[in-house]
Amino acid sequence: MRLVGRFETIYIRELLKKIRHDSGLKKKVGLRVDVARNATYIRNISDLPNSISGRYTAMRTKACGMLFLVAILAFYLSGCGCFIQAQKGEAPPPKPPEQQMVTPPEAKPEVVMPPPSPPPPSPVPGLANIYFDFDRYNIRPQDAEILKKNVDWFTGNPGTKVRIEGNCDERGTIEYNLALGQRRADAAKNYLTGLGVDGKLLETVSYGKERPVCTEHNEECWAQNRRDAFVPVK
């Protein structure tokens, strides 16, 4: 049993009309036609007469040929569409952008800045600073007169401790200036003890170039930073 296509169904229906008018032909060929749900089934197609069988075969060949032509035409039209699109200069639609994994930026370590150096203490009335030449720690004559006046302050403030702070200008290394500042503070202490000040009331420290009173880069500013400061200790 074989399923018959739509074109064959039309031809078979026409054939049925002739068979109904000729009951002898129906018995001769032993033809059975079943129609169900718009589909027609045929048994013993080879038993049809040659004239009918030939027409049936020709019709089926013609239908297959038409389907083949339709398929070729559809393929040709689809190719023409691509060719016309290329002739017009139309580019094919772009591909969707690929999703890229975005990695968060690495957290940079926080740079902890050291706290700024405290400002130099204000001069104490009666205790004047002394100054030094470049790369020297000897007491100059004019600075010796200042130290003599400072002795009067010690006389008026008995038992008060004083810290002598040695300082340098910005030139030179940190280590060298720390050592030079210490020698300057010790020189002032030795001079004061020579004038009768109790050495137990005097302590020394060096700040090197870490506590400038002037930040300009010239000789006048550097001369202000090469100093000994006298600070009472509470």
CATH of the domain at 154: 3.30.1330.60
Shared domain check, 217 and 150: yes
Question: In the prediction, which pLDDT does 58 show?
Answer: 67
Give 203's contacts (C-beta < 8 A, 6+ positions apart): 161, 162, 163, 164, 233
- Ordered strands of the 33-36 beta sheet: 2-4, 39-42, 33-36
Boundary-marking domain end, from 34, 64, 87: 87
Q: How many domains does the chain have?
A: 2
Average pLDDT over residues 217-232: 94
Tell me what the mean pLDDT of segment 22-30 comes to.
Answer: 46
0.75 exceeded by pTM: no
Residue 34 predicted with pLDDT over 50: no
Q: What pLDDT does residue 160 have?
A: 92
75 has pLDDT over 80: no
Supply the Cα-derived Rg of the chain in whole angstroms. Answer: 60
In a domain, 114, yes or no: no
Answer with the residue of higher pLDDT: 155 or 84.
155
Name the one residue in this structure whose structure tokens are 């009309």.
17
| Cα–Cα–Cα angle for 227, 165, 114, rounded to 5 degrees | 105
Residue 151 lies in a domain: yes
| Strand bridging mode 161-167 / 202-208 | parallel
98 inside domain: no
Label the pairing between strands 161-167 and 227-233. antiparallel
- How much is the average pLDDT of 149-171? 93
**Tokens 């000729």 label which residue?**
22
Better pLDDT: 105 or 157: 157
Q: Considering 54, 70, 87, which residue would you say is the last residue of a domain?
A: 87
229 and 138 belong to one structural domain? yes
Q: How many whole angstroms separate alpha carbon 120 and alpha carbon 181? A: 15
Single-letter amino acid, residue 65: G
- Residue 54's H or E segment, with its range, is helix 50-87
227 and 141 in one domain?
yes
Q: How many residues does the chain have?
A: 234
Residue 108, domain member (yes or no):
no
Q: Give the range of the structural domain holding residue 189, as residue numbers without chain letter.
A: 130-233
Mean pLDDT of 113-142: 76
Distance between first and last Cα of the chain: 124
